[in-house]
Amino acid sequence: MVVTGDRLRMTVYEIITGKNDSVTVIGNHPYFNPIYRPHRNPHHREETQRLIDEFLEAGMIQESNSPYAAPAFIVPRKDNRPGRLIVDYRALNKITIPDASPLPHMEDLLQELGKGYKYFSRLDLKSGYHQFRIPTADRPKTAFVVSQGHYEFCVLSMGPPNEPAEFQKTMYAVMKSCREFCHVFLEDIIICSKSFDEHINHLKLAFEALAKEKLVLNASKCELAVQQAVVLSHAVSDTAIAPTTDAIQAILDLKEPRTLKETNKFLGGIAYYRKFVPHFSHIAAPIHRISNLTKDRKHLFKWTVEHSNAFHALKHLLTTAPLFLHFPVDDFPLHLATDA
């Protein structure tokens, strides 16, 4: 259902899944957990007030009389940038019926982009979630409290359950006419073409689809008609897909783990690029064995020379291996080699 949001000055969607609201809770009663209020320093109180005033002016939130009340607080950012207002929706999540609709699979997206396209554009929606309304009946469930009062969201926000799935489905609908050359991953829209003239036409069609719904792009984060695009921390071109230099450097800068948490952080970072590292699972096996310890057994964690050797071997491969990948071409035979 498309409605016109006068205060937002754009066309927005009311997100509805079938016959249910986007946030369908179990039972008819809100959660009754005591509302905790984190300590707020004076600067955070001023920052909270500034954000609340900004959200009210933009029509993103409204005052609430809801029985729901999630705690909210400010999370500082680096470089003295304004902080972010974060709402703790864990209690709401526990009583919400989940939407099982999947998000796009990263490897499927990369494989599709690796089919020899010569031109790419990456479009980024400006505060994408905030450009879509939620149903009026759902708004009380998003209510939150700050020292300045009790408010609820009129638009999608980060945190409530099901909103990523609903956002993805709606963007699929918006870009349906462009599906042959356009790939959507939440707020990111990737357009790929085999020639420059074709790409210009594809961009025109994509802009028309977005303009039809009055969706706004963030110009500073958009890339147009480039021959190499960065998608999900991978550099994509017409010849190959490879990890980005910045992503690899971030892994190389990690020091040897001393705790279970640090070990899992290293494995999580490097496993993201395991497809580029020959025999990754074999080399990483010693580290995996200790990373599988559960929380109540973390006292058994012990980093040894064997783990150190595996750690440095993996980092070495990230700097010396030919870190690029050619995805299979559908029309050619595929030869697969495996270990016994």
DSSP-based helix, strand, coil % in the chain, nearest 5: 40, 20, 40
Instruction: Categorise residue 37: left if φ over 0, alpha if ψ from -120 to 50, beta otherwise.
Output: beta
Please state, in angstroms and rounded to a whole number, the distance separating the CA atoms of residues 213 and 240. Answer: 35
Q: Tens-digit pLDDT profile for the chain (340 aa)?
A: 233 333 232 323 333 333 344 555 555 556 545 455 555 566 677 888 888 999 999 899 999 999 888 988 888 777 676 778 889 888 888 888 888 888 888 888 888 887 888 999 999 988 888 888 888 888 998 999 988 899 999 998 877 777 788 888 888 889 999 999 999 988 889 999 999 999 999 999 999 999 998 898 988 889 999 998 888 888 888 888 888 888 888 888 888 988 888 898 888 888 888 888 888 889 999 998 888 776 667 777 888 999 999 999 998 888 775 666 666 566 777 777 776 5
Q: Is residue 137 helix, strand or coil? A: helix
* Amino acid found at 35: I
Q: Cα–chain-centroid distance for residue 274?
A: 20
pTM over 0.85: no
Domains and CATH numbers, the chain: 2-101+131-153 (3.10.10.10), 106-129+161-241 (3.30.70.270), 242-320 (3.30.70.270)
Give the residue among 62, 50, 53 at the shortest CA–CA distance from 5.
62
Whole-Å CA distances, 290 to 15, 308, 312: 44, 12, 16
